[in-house]
Structure 1
């Protein structure tokens, strides 16, 4: 919101307020005789208006360009090693990152990796042993991250 008003036309005193939800810029009572101060104030006003317009344009563009979430299948266990995955799904952390996660839950670790090898899951939280044995068999497995 931009509010502008002339307080006194005799000495050209002005009162200008830029009201933004996060910041309030106030520039008040400058006298026409001091042109350097007036130019500086006008420059600040111009920059603030330009910044506000750019911010509003960015918000409008990002609201219209909302992409649908990327669908992934995530294979993990009911065991304590997969606690972070359970918390992330329950709290909606994957959704915040633009992912629509379809969980595949298993009772033990060896079974977690098989859906990835069968191209039925995109990611898995598997232990070192199943990964090592499948690498020795010649399977193409990529470790994206290590969860400690």
Structure 2
């Protein structure tokens, strides 16, 4: 019985170290401004809203599809609004970049609404400005 527990513990540890870790420095975004720090977003709703951009980037979808110049993701009271910063560009942000940009903004604004710009993520050029506000 103890051997099984040790084996399962070792297996869990090896899987955890094999998963990619998202390292966020804050350099992923620029111009972050905290808007209303009194808002207390539900973490689950915010996470669902993160994956709701571009018509949905959950599960196996790894990139914004459809070439929008703007998009939103909403769940509960959490609303993300994204816009390509360069005229004529579209949002093609990857799920990983998008999640890192949100986490980077939350380093500056750990609670409440904010606006910022994710460096990169638009085609053929430019960045993606975004905000988290109450729906």
Same fold (TM over 0.5): no
TM-score using structure 1 length: 0.25
Higher relative contact order (CA 8 A, sep 6+): 2
**Rg larger for:** 1
TM-score using structure 2 length: 0.26
More helix by share: 1
